[in-house]
Amino acid sequence: MGDKMLSEEIKNIAQSSLIDVIGFTDASEFSNYTLKQSKRRDPKLTLPQTKSIVIAGIYISGITIPE
């Protein structure tokens, strides 16, 4: 399955699972991460073969989601 097809499949699963926002990014180091010694600053320190990161957001309540 190609990257584009996989992204679309993940988006479809997210939508059917009531996930409000979904996004993708490359797994490069977070250059502005506050804790410079933290392993969390660079995904490849804990998962060396990581290529992409999937970010999902679920609306809980109390604020209005912008369109």
Q: Tens digits of per-residue pLDDT, 2-61?
A: 878 999 999 999 999 989 999 999 988 887 777 777 777 888 888 899 899 999 999 887
8 Å CB contact between 27 and 50: yes
Least Cα distance to 26 among 2, 55, 1 occurs for 55
pTM, full prediction: 0.67
8 Å CB contact between 54 and 11: no
What would the two tokens of residue 5 be? 């097809």
Least Cα distance to 51 among 29, 33, 28 occurs for 28
Single-letter residue type at 55: I
CA–CA gap between residue 53 and residue 20 (Å, rounded): 17
